[in-house]
Amino acid sequence: MRKKRFIYTLAAVLLMCSAASVGAGCGKSSPALLDSFGTHLDTLMTSKDKLSKMDGAAADLCVIENEDEFSENDIEAPAGALFNITDQKTLYSKNANDEREIASITKIMTALLAMKYADLSQEVTISYTPEGLESSAVLCGFEQGDKMMLSSLLSAALIYSGNDAAIDIAIAVAGSQEAFVDMMNQESKELMTSHTHFANPTGLTQSKHYSSVYDVYLMFQECLKYPTFRDIIARGSFLCYYTNAAGENVTKNFNSTNQYLVGAYTPPDGITVIGGKTGHTNTAGYNLVVLVQDSHHKEYVAVILGAATKDELYNQMNTLLSKI
């Protein structure tokens, strides 16, 4: 409370100083000073403060007021949070506004733009050949001339985390990766994210490509408004039907990267994992956002970023889910 009172008092002083400068000389630097203050104010404001500036659509969002209250039950992962999205309550938060690489969790924004601005039933002809991607990049193996529905690319990107599928979506929706990235950053601003910037539609390592636990929650929550998204992320596998450049029918099976859905890890008793999105690169570590349900059918979103290993990721996620 004292911090908030200080912030708003400082804002008032700066505004009065700016007004006085017209006749009395607070100096020409006042506008720059106010701009600088605005930047710091955004950093200091809690998520509750920021959402108060939004319209009624923000009423269904969880907020983080003070992470210190959760320190006694700290998780080992660098950053994470747990949100009760049925009752709009934050149950846990650690370093939720730290800017971090999120790897393929990026693809939830790629999916959001496809669902929001494109016709998922449209046929897409693959025109992109993956070149220059990092050696560990997951690829579906689609080739130039292949034809499939945009919905199939969406499933391949979310379930299997295919990077070529994500790039193909970007080109189909915006005409180029560059134009699509512009759309991603604009959409991110509209969702009131404060610690997110995109440089590609995949999440592969690139400078100025980052997000935060809380911003991942904001993007994921928006995606959950689409039944198609909920359906796709809940699948343990996906059969992709398409035709190749020669007109031949092709079928490929893609298994989910979400280890809960393929039975490799089990959530705590009473918790059902509905679905989610994974992300991993050597620099980002292991990352996961999941939608879960308790025995009373209440829904929760949990996020872990930066785990050192896959085992640590799922063990820490279970620690987080045990707080429900």
- Any alpha helices (H) in 45-162, and if so which ranges? 47-51, 107-117, 150-155
What spatial distance separates the first Cα and last Cα of the chain, rounded to whole Å?
A: 28
The answer to whether residues 158 and 289 belong to one domain is yes
Owner of token pair 């980002």: 284
The answer to whether residues 161 and 35 belong to one domain is no
Rounded CA separation 321/168 (Å): 35
Could you tell me if residue 188 is inside a domain? yes
Q: What is the pLDDT of residue 264?
A: 99
Could you tell me if residue 169 is inside a domain? yes
Rounded CA separation 198/202 (Å): 9
| 48 in a known ligand binding site | no
The answer to whether residues 28 and 139 belong to one domain is no
Q: What is the pLDDT of residue 58?
A: 57
The answer to whether residues 145 and 31 belong to one domain is no
Assign 286 to helix, strand or coil: strand
Structure-token pair, residue 54:
């939004």
Q: Name the strand (E) or helix (H) holding 11.
A: helix 2-24
Could you tell me if residue 89 is inside a domain? no
Q: What is the pLDDT of residue 223?
A: 99
- State which residues form the domain around 166: 103-321
Q: What is the pLDDT of residue 60?
A: 86
Could you tell me if residue 74 is inside a domain? no
The answer to whether residues 137 and 254 belong to one domain is yes
Ordered mean pLDDT values, 10 residues apiece, the chain (324 residues): 42 41 38 41 48 53 88 86 98 97 99 99 93 88 98 99 98 98 99 98 98 99 99 99 98 99 98 99 98 99 98 98 97
Rounded CA separation 302/135 (Å): 29
Rounded CA separation 289/321 (Å): 12
Number of structural domains in the chain: 2
The answer to whether residues 18 and 152 belong to one domain is no
Supply the residues annotated as catalytic: 104, 107, 161
Q: What is the pLDDT of residue 230?
A: 99
The answer to whether residues 154 and 9 belong to one domain is no
Could you tell me if residue 139 is inside a domain? yes
The CATH number assigned to the domain holding 238 equals: 3.40.710.10
The answer to whether residues 121 and 3 belong to one domain is no
Rounded CA separation 139/160 (Å): 9
Q: What is the pLDDT of residue 45?
A: 47
Could you tell me if residue 264 is inside a domain? yes
The answer to whether residues 220 and 292 belong to one domain is yes
Instruction: Please say whether the dihedral angle defined by the alpha carbons of residues 30, 34, 39 and 44, taken in this order, is positive or negative.
Output: positive
Rounded CA separation 53/268 (Å): 37
Q: What is the pLDDT of residue 154?
A: 99
| Helices H / strands E in the chain, number of each | 10, 9
pTM for the whole structure: 0.83
Structure-token pair, residue 289:
């956002």
Q: What is the pLDDT of residue 48?
A: 52
251, 265 contact by CB (below 8 A) = no
The answer to whether residues 12 and 148 belong to one domain is no
The answer to whether residues 117 and 212 belong to one domain is yes
The answer to whether residues 24 and 130 belong to one domain is no
Neighbours of 40 (CB within 10 A): 11
Could you tell me if residue 67 is inside a domain? no
Q: What is the pLDDT of residue 175?
A: 98
Instruction: Please give the C-alpha separations between residue 93 and each of 82, 214, 309, 317, in angstroms, as whole numbers.
Output: 7, 9, 21, 13
Decide which of 44, 60, 79 is a domain's last residue. Answer: 44
Could you tell me if residue 76 is inside a domain? no
